[in-house]
Structure 1
């Protein structure tokens, strides 16, 4: 990346506004998760139907991830603006009626918008931050998404469903407005070569680092999503109540926020990305085996916090390595990585769900799946030492 300014500065205001919108997408995504039973009763539908208010998100992400990545490479600011506006619109649609159809319509709009925002987790730092600041920016943007999850869990437990919907709409509109204002600032760091659409996608896919990251990222996505989705029923036979399981999940995500804010920056500054991801993978494997052998509230607390701190930072590390290796096609690379992650989440969570009545087998399965990440790790240490060079600039 280069800039017309010989002494470029990072634009943290744009990064901060983007991070808030990213957090809002997660808040809206998980609105109904903490109150599934109450929402089912309120709308007069089954709990499975309420589950689709969240399940539409990964499905739309798989469909839109690659087109979104290409759009971000070519039209970063318009794509982000559309994503922010659609997010706010979907949040407002949920208030237009008090029935399941209206809720699903609003969630679908937000689900379509989410890839337009979250896929830019590496693209925004790449365009608005100096190279030395990008690992910190990617880490902050990633941590903000988990912070949005925490807010969703907290709101669901302390206020009514209607109040949660109102808060979501107000926050989404405000966040979108702020982002639209700061996006008036043109990116200071852009590649010399203009984005080339499908050519960028092919270039990203041919990049060995990006392909290896696409093999790696489904594991943290899949293991984390499976643990958060099935943690409560898997631990219930060991005497862990739903309230205790909810607390474990909240602590898991909170630990992930801390881990994503600290570990990737530390790893990038010391060239330890490979070791950081390896530590997360091994921690998840060990944790799942502990829960298989000694399930309970105490072991769950240790494992969920450990997984949050060590495994979740693998996401921003993978995104940073992909951005570093892909250069002008960073958006396409991010789309590929996010799509791989969402596919991993769908597959691993679905398979783990088949073992929900056999908790020990489910945890052993998750441990075995997590081990599949090990063959993808060696390239990370090699890729962390290089960044594509570029020269002149343009604004978009």
Structure 2
């Protein structure tokens, strides 16, 4: 590569960018500049035309990327369904499995959701290592096989609570292999301008899975407290979900490929090894702030999603209908579609992250103080339930759209660390607090649930202060 000295003594290199040559100081090495822009480095003036033609042949965006993304979304949907299978019908499920466990102990219906969070703490780092080392096809394939086994075990042995717990453990191990592949998949198959959108659609799949379980499960299970058949239908529900999981797993294994024949963009990126990437991530100030944000935001989301029936009971709502969770997910679906696309279009990350965290605060206030807003605990349960659903919608819209934007932001600021490593750490931080929050909220038959909801408001304000201190993604500044 030719080099020359500029007037300030710095070397410059020549890059082809948007059809023209520009000079950049040597302190921005090719590997560092290329993380932020789609560039082509050429070796000489006369080689420019040849390099352009060669790169045009090597760079292509394939329509098949959407098939890969859809297959990934399907396996993501069923994994989320299996996570919160009993969340909207916890009281009815306790009746169905009466005598097989002690409802006052830790090993109860709510524990099934906790298993996912606990397993994530253990499996997240190994799953990211597998994805970084052997690729998304192997990583997602492992997750798909485990999900199919766990789902069918729950479905075929649904009458045994012990078998359901074992199946849930297998599914919980599968989850990190699926979730941690989002940013790696988007980087392999999508150009930079579409990666926020791809991450948003992948997150949309998570939310669709949760919203489906919140709506469909109460339909399949008898949830009317006065009905003699109260709690019946759990076995059929688990069998349906098990078959759906096996089908989605088969599609993922057959459709998802490691990468297209040629790269989706001309950006040249050097990647750290897994452990070197970990050290690099923790050395970055903005990544440490992002870990705190997910520690708070994702933990709150996991807790509210897992305890929707307990929250309804706290508002003196008699029947288990899962509507608080469903409305939250509806808001999340809308937000996950709209905000990441706007973030890509406007080339902004920080502004949307700040807006998302700010929007969490009023949502949590309404959800936490719904009973007092409507006259006091037990005075107007129906009114309190409506207020809580408005709060849950706002919470879902903002916190769930922050996820994909945050994942992409983290991937952009932590280059050259592998994408699945940064994403895995963010998810891991939220699982830690989610586990703590759910365990605390469910203790002594949800006695501490109201206090936790109030604490969430305070934590959201802390998160807002933190996100205001992050810097804009260099990929957005330099694009």
The offset of 1:235, in angstroms, is: 5.5
Contact 1:83 1:114 in 2 (8 A): yes
TM-score, normalised via structure 1 length: 0.88
1:225 partnered with 2:302 = yes
Contact 2:362 2:394 in 1 (8 A): no
* Cα distance in 2 for residues equivalent to 1:104 and 1:161: 14
**Structure 2 Cα separation of the partners of residues 169 and 223 of structure 1:** 28
The residue aligned with 2:151 is 91
User: Are 1:122 and 2:201 an aligned pair?
Assistant: no
Q: 1:45 aligns with which of 97, 101, 106?
A: 101
Does 2:64 match 1:8? no
Contact 2:193 2:344 in 1 (8 A): no
Q: Cα distance 1:49–1:347, how it changes in 2: closer, same or farther (>3 A)?
A: closer
Assess, with a 3 A threshold, how the Cα gap between structure 1 residues 379 and 74 changes in structure 2: closer, same or farther: farther
2:456 matches 1:347: no
TM-score (norm 2): 0.74
Match of 1:276 among 352, 362, 370: 352
Matched, 1:199 2:258: no
Q: How far does the alpha carbon of each residue in 1:292-330 deviate from its partner, in whole angstroms, 9 at most, with x for none?
A: 241512321221111111221111111010112233411
2:27 counterpart residue number: none
* Residue range with higher mean Cα deviation, 188-197 or 66-75: 188-197
Which has the bigger relative contact order, CA under 8 A and spacing at least 6?
1
Please report how far the alpha carbon of residue 85 of structure 1 lies from its aligned counterpart in structure 2 after TM superposition. 0.8
1:332 aligns with 2:404: no
Is 1:383 the counterpart of 2:473? The answer is yes
Q: Could you say if the C-alpha distance between residues 283 and 232 of structure 1 is closer, same or farther in structure 2, counting changes exceeding 3 Å?
A: farther
Corresponding position of 1:322: 410
Corresponding residue number in structure 1 for 2:464:
374
Aligned pairs for 1:297-316 (under 5 A) are 297-316=385-404
Partner residue in 2 for 1:62? 121
Residue ranges of structure 2 left out of the alignment (5+ in a row): 1-34, 39-54, 221-232, 375-383
> 1:325–1:388: 8 Å Cα contact kept in structure 2?
no
CA distance in 1, matches of 2:86, 2:309: 16
Match of 1:392 in 2: none
Q: What is the RMSD of the two structures over their aligned residues, measured on CA atoms?
A: 2.8
Aligned with 1:17: secondary structure?
A: helix
Instruction: Name the larger-Rg structure.
Output: 2
3-state DSSP class of the match of 1:313? helix
Equivalent residue, structure 2, for 1:170: 243
Match of 2:78 in 1: 24
Residue 156 in structure 1 maps to residue 217 in structure 2:
yes
Asked whether 1:261 is paired with 2:350, we answer no
How many residues are treated as equivalent by the alignment? 388
The alpha-carbon deviation at position 88 of structure 1 amounts to 0.5
More helix by share: 1
Look up the match of 2:164. Answer: 103
Structure 1 stretch displaced more, 186-195 or 62-71: 186-195
Q: 1:102 to 1:359 in 2, by over 3 A?
A: closer
Contact 1:204 1:326 in 2 (8 A): yes
CA contact (8 A) 2:72 2:256 kept: no
Query: Are positions 1:145 and 2:224 aligned together?
Result: no
Counterparts in 2 of 1:276 and 1:52: CA distance versus 1, 3 Å: same
Counterparts of 1:258 and 1:280, CA distance in 2: 13
Q: For residue 373 of structure 2, what is the aligned residue in structure 1?
A: 294
